[in-house]
Chain A
């Protein structure tokens, strides 16, 4: 199927700013689904609130645009109720890890077969550029005019510690890698987390003097490196890209089938 067959063309043009990285993620996601050849009716996309969450409405899947931070809780209901569906949850950094932090760690702990894509642009875009839990110490935001003194989460470490069985990171610059990782994440039987570093030239870039979208993408290329590279040894400041965790643990819905079997046998 062509890419355009996965989108709801009547709802375009999209509402994202020029240069926004979320369109690149949308593209990568569609290509991943296309390569996997999954039936559109077998996919439920559940999103929360924010710029990232609007991705759901543009896609021709079953789409559920929910509440700020709560997408994974809604998604858990969908998945446990109908485990045969592929459930994909695109989230923003504030959505996933501030207001939705509790749902995030518990979905990871449960190891329910859902694919969470954290589109990390380090800012609350929809409300006009406030700092998020991923903005980082020393950055500027509309609610951190004298620089942000909040430390940030590391999505990969957080997801790994919380029990996610597939954890990866990519960027809007590394589109091929992003698509491959999303493919693998969807196929993974368990809770998978993919952090995609995405640029927000309108708010994060402008305020932090990172230039336009192209400058920001080039910057992502510069500050990241494949996992375990020589460059990382020489420069520990570099952010690693790739698959960090890939392990097998009982998946929640399959485990619940065991509960049903035990209940029916009276054990």
Chain B
């Protein structure tokens, strides 16, 4: 029997994934239902010479990981609902200054303090548009612990590759549920290390001058290259600029580096989608119930399928349009008032066939909840 098998909470699977990916610095603040991530890392990080700090608030935690990332470390913070709101200011900074970092949001019910110990998936659009100004963002999610682990590793890889913050949008059910996790062997999942500049000492290094492949090699603070980092629009030196050409080019660069790779960044799972007449689209813990519904109907010979999204942003419009093309019905299963459903309607042809199956009372959406929606849609009553 392998000793790589654990029986853990989703929050612990996230911790394992982060350490596997090379996490070295974590700053956080206690908040339900993400606190276990901070607790575990306060114990695990110093054992490997890493650093954990409990900051004075959520804002400071987000700022501290950006500072640490600039010294060359892989960094993460974790929070929930109200804490995610507080991080938006510095999240925008990380987008603008192109700082690799990972932000976990174990979603709970909102708005405001909402319902801290119960499940919701109401931060989907906040992950996309929470910080002010035009921008692009990567947000990943998962419905089970093996995928929580894998998506956490993926988040670090994407953050390092594209010099961008990546949001991990888990939810209370996934965060607190316990199930089996098989830890991959070192090397089993590829790890992206930070791309550092090869510019020699004494030669001008431009922190914001992309290479031919679009990537921006970094230089750690404390190294031989001294440069400026700012949240203002900036030139290739990182120095503030209000030149229209520079503003225009930088904003397009920040959008394009993510949005132009939407298909490349689209992670998903599919179950019986090829011939599905009724396609369920779901993500996070609600995808577990959606899958059970699909399996049950398949056993009865009904053509049900499930598209489980692991990448929520950039929104995989092409993927959804393609997978939904042959379906008579598209049902989006989520625990909010239809945040993803809205995006799905925008993505597909004939949006009138897209329906929402949701639950927003803090109770986990069950397969029978989804069945009730299906009955309604098909005119079979409640």
Q: Is A77 an interface residue (CB 8 A)?
A: yes
Contact B224 A78 (CB under 8 A): no
Q: How far is the CA of A146 from the CA of B47 in the complex (A)?
A: 59
Name the CB-closest residue of B to A106.
Answer: B56
Q: How far is the CA of A253 from the CA of B221 in the complex (A)?
A: 17
Q: In the complex, which residues of chain A have a beta carbon less than 8 angstroms from the beta carbon of B90? A: 67, 70
Q: In the complex, which residues of chain A have a beta carbon less than 8 angstroms from the beta carbon of B247? A: none
A40-B226 CB under 8 A given contacts A73-B59, A76-B55: yes
Q: In the complex, which residues of chain B have a beta carbon less than 8 angstroms from the beta carbon of A41? A: 222-224, 226
Question: Which one of A67, A75, A77, A103 contacts B231 once the chains associate, using CB atoms below 8 Å?
Answer: A67
In the complex, besides A67-B231, A81-B24, 8 extra interface pairs with C-beta distance below 8 angstroms are A57-B239, A67-B93, A77-B69, A78-B71, A78-B221, A256-B46, A260-B46, A264-B49
Q: How far is the CA of A65 from the CA of B67 in the complex (A)?
A: 11
Name the CB-closest residue of B to A65.
Answer: B230
Q: How far is the CA of A68 from the CA of B73 in the complex (A)?
A: 24
Question: Which one of A61, A74, A260 contacts B63 once the chains associate, using CB atoms below 8 Å?
Answer: A74
Taking the closest CB of chain A, its distance from the CB of B327, in whole angstroms, is 46
Q: How far is the CA of A7 from the CA of B47 in the complex (A)?
A: 41
Taking the closest CB of chain A, its distance from the CB of B204, in whole angstroms, is 11
Q: Is A63 an interface residue (CB 8 A)?
A: yes
Contact A46 B67 (CB under 8 A): yes
Contact A263 B47 (CB under 8 A): yes
Residue with the highest number of chain B CB atoms closer than 10 Å, among A42, A74, A79, A84 = A74
Q: In the complex, which residues of chain B have a beta carbon less than 8 angstroms from the beta carbon of A73? A: 55-56, 59-61, 63-64, 67
Contact A103 B56 (CB under 8 A): yes
Q: In the complex, which residues of chain B have a beta carbon less than 8 angstroms from the beta carbon of A78? A: 67-68, 70-71, 221
Q: In the complex, which residues of chain B have a beta carbon less than 8 angstroms from the beta carbon of A262? A: 46
The proximity string for B residues 201-232 relative to A, scoring 1 for CB distances below 8 Å and 0 otherwise, is 00000000000000000000111101111111
Q: Is A60 an interface residue (CB 8 A)?
A: yes
Q: In the complex, which residues of chain A have a beta carbon less than 8 angstroms from the beta carbon of B159? A: none
Q: Is A80 an interface residue (CB 8 A)?
A: yes
Q: Is A126 an interface residue (CB 8 A)?
A: no
Residue with the highest number of chain A CB atoms closer than 10 Å, among B27, B63, B68, B71 = B63
A–B pairs, 12, beta carbons within 8 Å: A8-B239, A61-B226, A62-B70, A62-B222, A63-B228, A65-B230, A73-B61, A77-B25, A77-B64, A77-B69, A102-B60, A103-B56
Question: Which one of A40, A56, A77, A80 contacts B228 once the chains associate, using CB atoms below 8 Å?
Answer: A56
Question: Which one of A11, A65, A81, A260 contacts B71 once the chains associate, using CB atoms below 8 Å?
Answer: A81
Write the residues of chain A forming the contact surface with B, with a CB cutoff of 8 angstroms. Answer: 8, 11, 40-42, 44, 46, 56-57, 60-67, 70, 73-82, 84-85, 102-103, 106, 256, 259-260, 262-264
Question: Which one of A82, A256, A260 contacts B222 once the chains associate, using CB atoms below 8 Å?
Answer: A82
Q: How far is the CA of A79 from the CA of B64 in the complex (A)?
A: 9
Q: In the complex, which residues of chain A have a beta carbon less than 8 angstroms from the beta carbon of B239? A: 8, 11, 57
Contact B226 A75 (CB under 8 A): no
CB proximity to A under 8 Å, residues B2-41: 24-25, 27
Contact A76 B228 (CB under 8 A): no
Q: How far is the CA of A61 from the CA of B70 in the complex (A)?
A: 14
Q: Is B66 an interface residue (CB 8 A)?
A: yes
Q: In the complex, which residues of chain B have a beta carbon less than 8 angstroms from the beta carbon of A60? A: 226
Contact B93 A77 (CB under 8 A): no
Contact B226 A66 (CB under 8 A): no
Please provide the 6 A-B residue pairs with the shortest distance between their CB atoms, ordered closest to farther: A77-B67, A77-B64, A73-B63, A263-B46, A73-B60, A81-B68
Taking the closest CB of chain A, its distance from the CB of B138, in whole angstroms, is 21
Q: In the complex, which residues of chain A have a beta carbon less than 8 angstroms from the beta carbon of B24? A: 81
A77-B27 CB under 8 A given contacts A11-B239, A66-B63, A70-B60: yes
Q: Is B345 an interface residue (CB 8 A)?
A: no
Q: In the complex, which residues of chain A have a beta carbon less than 8 angstroms from the beta carbon of B51? A: 80-81, 256
Q: Is B369 an interface residue (CB 8 A)?
A: no
A85-B221 CB under 8 A given contacts A57-B240, A63-B226, A77-B27: yes
Taking the closest CB of chain A, its distance from the CB of B218, in whole angstroms, is 12
Q: In the complex, which residues of chain B have a beta carbon less than 8 angstroms from the beta carbon of A256? A: 46, 51, 53
CB proximity to A under 8 Å, residues B121-179: none
Q: Is B349 an interface residue (CB 8 A)?
A: no
Taking the closest CB of chain B, its distance from the CB of A41, in whole angstroms, is 6
Residue with the highest number of chain A CB atoms closer than 10 Å, among B68, B72, B73, B232 = B68
Question: Which one of A11, A61, A64 contacts B67 once the chains associate, using CB atoms below 8 Å?
Answer: A64
Contact B47 A264 (CB under 8 A): yes
Q: How far is the CA of A13 from the CA of B70 in the complex (A)?
A: 28
Q: How far is the CA of A70 from the CA of B58 in the complex (A)?
A: 12
Contact A70 B63 (CB under 8 A): yes
Q: In the complex, which residues of chain B have a beta carbon less than 8 angstroms from the beta carbon of A80? A: 25, 51, 53, 64, 68
Q: How far is the CA of A78 from the CA of B224 in the complex (A)?
A: 16
Q: Is B258 an interface residue (CB 8 A)?
A: no
Contact B71 A82 (CB under 8 A): yes
Q: In the complex, which residues of chain B have a beta carbon less than 8 angstroms from the beta carbon of A11? A: 239
Residue with the highest number of chain B CB atoms closer than 10 Å, among A85, A263, A264 = A263
A67-B222 CB under 8 A given contacts A74-B63, A80-B64: no
Q: In the complex, which residues of chain A have a beta carbon less than 8 angstroms from the beta carbon of B64? A: 73-74, 76-77, 80
Contact A84 B240 (CB under 8 A): no
Q: Is B342 an interface residue (CB 8 A)?
A: no
Q: In the complex, which residues of chain A have a beta carbon less than 8 angstroms from the beta carbon of B60? A: 70, 73, 76, 102-103, 106
